[in-house]
Chains A and B, each alone.
Chain A
Amino acid sequence: MNSIEIKNLSLNFGDVKVLKDLNLTIEKGEFLVLLGASGCGKSTLLNCIAGLLDVTDGQIFINEQNVTWLEPAQRGIGMVFQSYALYPQMTVEGNLSFSLKNAKLAKDEINRRVKNASEILQIEDLLKRKPAALSGGQRQRVAIGRALVRDVDVFLFDEPLSNLDAKLRTELRVEIKRLHHKLNNTMIYVTHDQIEAMTLANRIAIMRDGLILQLDDPKNIYNFPINKYVAEFIGSPGMNFLQGHINNKDNVSFQIDDTLFELNGYNFQTVVEDKRPVWLGVRPENIVVNDGNKSLPVNFDVVVEVIEPMGADTLVWSHFNGHEFRFTVDGNKVINIGEKINLGFDPLHISIFDFESEDRL
C-alpha cells in the first residue's frame, strides 16, 4: 500500500519554477530521504506535502486520500524543523500537548500520549522545563516528540540535525533510525548531508532544479549513479573524474592521451561507438595500491603530492594526466610525499558518463 503519492506536482513562486511536474510514490513504512544542494526544491517539496505551501498544479495523496486542499493539521502528518521551532513560552509538556489540545482530545488521553512520547524519547525529566533551558539535542528530541504525540502515519523531517554539533548529530541520527524501526511509519527526511542520507534511507531521491534525478536505494545510488552530478554529490571524498574517449579497436577501452584502460567487465547500458568523448569516474575508495603484483586489469603510476591522515584511512592527493586524483589507503600504511605509487582499479567499480549529457553509459 502506498503511503504517499505525488502526481504531477508543480510549484511556481512568481516566474520561478521551483518544482516541475514531479511524481513520487512512497510506500508505507518507507524511509525516504530527499537529498540535494540548497535551492534544489527539496524543502519546498516537503512543505507541499505538509500543506504549508499551496501547490500550483498536481495532486498529493496521503494514505490514498487526496489531501491537496487539506490543512496541514488534517493531513495526518507530523513535522520536525531544523530550528526546532519549539514554542518558547510553553513548557516541554505544553509543547507536546499543544496539538492535542487543539484537536480537543480528552485530558487523560493527552496525558497518556505525552507520557508515552516522552518515554520513547527519554525526556520525562524535562517535561516541566521551558525550551530555553534545554540543550540543542534535547530541544530536537522535544521537537520529534511533538510529531510523535500526534500518532500520525507520516513523519516529515526538514534538516532536523543541521543545527547540532557533529557528535550529537551522529547520536540523534541513530536514534531517528531506531525510532523508525520501532514505529515503522513512513518518514520523509530532507537533508543536504549525504552521510545522513546514506545511513538513514531505504531510498534516496536526489533532487536538482526541482526535479528528481535519481530515486533508488543508497547502494545503487552510490555504485551506479545515473549521471555525473549524482556521482559527484554522493561519496566523500568525491569521485575522481578523468576526461577521455572510448577506443573500440581491440577491446572496449577508455583512452586518455596515450594511456589505455581496458574496460572489460564494465556494464554499458548502450552500445558505445568508437571515439565517443566520455568521463571516467572512479571513487577514491575503489582505488587499490599495487604492491608490485599488478593483479588488477587497470594499472598506472602517480606521484604523491599531499597526504591527509584521517585515522582509519589516509587520503592521498595526486595528479594523473592533468586531472586531480585522490585515493584512500589504509591508515597504517607509510606513504611519503614525492613517492611514486602504482595504482589499479577494477572496471566493475567505475562509472562512465557521456561527456556532453553527463548521463551514465
Chain B
Amino acid sequence: MPNSLDMKTTNGPRGPKPRKILSRRNIILYGTLIFVAIYYLVPLYVMIVTSLKGMPEIRLGNIFSPPIEVTFEPWVKAWAQACTGLNCDGLSRGFWNSVKITIPSVFVSIVIASINGYALANWRFKGANLFFTILIFGAFIPYQIMIYPLVILLRDLGLYTKLPGLILIHTIFGMPILTLLFRNYFTTIPEELFKAARVDGAGFWGIYFRVMMPMSLPIFAVAIVLQVTGIWNDFLFGVIYTKPENYPMTVQLNNIVNSVQGVKEYNVNMAATLLTGLVPLAIYFISGKLFVRGIAAGAVKG
C-alpha cells in the first residue's frame, strides 16, 4: 500500500499545466493577427521602398521589390527642393509652418481646456451644466457650417491668412473634446482630496497646480497626442485660413503630390508623405503607453 501512495504523490500532475504552443486556438489567433498586421503594413512598406528607389527603377513597375540601388536623393529633394508653385524650397517651409502652428495651438488649447475641465468637475458654479452641455454640443456641429462665418470673423479681427488666426481656430475647435476629456478625468479624482486641499487652505489655482495637475499627467499626455496629431494632420483649416507662404506641411504636401507640371516623381512624393507623417508617428511612439493608460482612466470612466 505505501508504494501506491508514493506513486500518487510523485507521479500525479504537479505545477503548471503544460500547454501546447501549436494549438488550434493559437494558430487561428496569431494567424489572424499576423495577416491583419501585414495587410496594414503593406502600403507603408511600398512607400518606404519606393522612396528609396531612383526613377528608372520605379519605371520597371515592380512596386513590391526592394530597391536594387538605395538612394536618399528623393528624401533630400522632398525636404529641400520640391516645387510648389513658384517656390522650390521643398517641404521644409511647410514643416516649420506646421511647427509654428502646432506648438502654440496645442499649448493654448490644453491650458484652457484643462482649466475648464477642472472648474467644471470641482467648482460647480451656477449654470455649469448648461455651459458644459453647450460646449459638448459644439463637438457635434459639422465644421463646414462654421467655415465661412469664421473667415469673416478672422478678417474683422485682422487675423485672416495669418498664423495666429489659424492657431485661434485650432484652439476653439479643440475645446469641446478636450474639455470633456479633462472634466471626465478630474471627476475620477476622489472628491475628498479636493476637500482636503480646501481645508489645507489651497485656492482655485493652488489646488489646480499643486494637487490636480501632478495627478493628471496621463490625461495631459492623451490631450497632447490628440492635439498634435489632429492639428498636424489638419488640411482643411490650413488651406482655408492661411495663404501660400503660411501653408502647413499637409497643404504643401498636397500641392507637391498633385502638381500637374512635369514628370510624376513617385519616389519624391512617397518621401514627402513619409516626412509629413513622421511627427504624429514619433509622438505616438514616445507617449503610446501613457496614451492608452490615460484613455482607459479618463475617457471611459465617469
Asked if A and B are interacting partners, one says yes
A residues neighboring B (CB under 8 Å): 47, 50-52, 71-73, 77-79, 81-83, 85-89, 98-99, 102-103, 146, 150, 158
Contact, CB under 8 Å: B196 / A79 = yes
| Residue interface bits B207-246, CB-to-A below 8 A is 1, else 0 | 0001100110000000000000000000000000000000
CB within 8 Å of A: which B186-217 residues: 190, 192-193, 195-202, 206, 210-211, 214-215
Partner of B192, one of A71, A73, A81: A81
Partner of A99, one of B195, B199, B214: B199
What is the number of residues of chain B that contact chain A, defined by CB distance less than 8 Å?
A: 16
- Known contacts A88-B215, A98-B210; A72 and B198 CB within 8 A of each other: yes
- Known contacts A83-B192, A85-B192, A85-B193; A73 and B198 CB within 8 A of each other: yes
- CB-CB < 8 A to A83: which residues of B? 190, 192
Contact, CB under 8 Å: B199 / A72 = yes
Provide the bound-state CA to CA distance between A98 and B196, in Å.
Answer: 10
- Known contacts A83-B190, A88-B215; A103 and B201 CB within 8 A of each other: yes
Provide the bound-state CA to CA distance between A87 and B199, in Å.
Answer: 13
List 30 interface pairs A-B (beta carbons < 8 Å), by A numbering. Answer: A51-B198, A52-B195, A71-B201, A72-B195, A72-B198, A72-B199, A72-B201, A73-B199, A73-B202, A79-B195, A79-B196, A79-B199, A81-B192, A81-B195, A81-B196, A82-B192, A85-B190, A85-B195, A87-B193, A87-B197, A87-B211, A89-B214, A89-B215, A98-B197, A98-B200, A99-B200, A99-B201, A103-B201, A146-B200, A158-B192
* Known pairs A85-B193, A85-B195, A99-B200 / 15 extra A-B pairs, C-beta < 8 Å: A51-B198, A52-B198, A71-B198, A77-B199, A81-B196, A82-B192, A86-B196, A87-B193, A87-B210, A98-B197, A98-B200, A102-B200, A102-B201, A146-B196, A146-B200
- CB-CB < 8 A to B211: which residues of A? 87
Residue of B197, B201, B206, B211 with most chain A CB atoms under a 10 A cut-off: B201
A-B contact count (CB 8 A): 59
Provide the bound-state CA to CA distance between A150 and B211, in Å.
Answer: 19
Residue of B193, B196, B211 with most chain A CB atoms under a 10 A cut-off: B196
Provide the bound-state CA to CA distance between A85 and B202, in Å.
Answer: 14
- CB-CB < 8 A to A51: which residues of B? 198
Instruction: Quote the shortest CB–CB distance from B196 to chain A (angstroms).
Output: 4
- CB-CB < 8 A to B199: which residues of A? 50, 52, 72-73, 77-79, 99
The 10 closest A-B pairs by CB, nearest first: A73-B201, A99-B200, A102-B201, A85-B192, A85-B196, A89-B214, A81-B192, A72-B199, A79-B199, A85-B193
- CB-CB < 8 A to A79: which residues of B? 195-196, 199
- CB-CB < 8 A to A47: which residues of B? 195
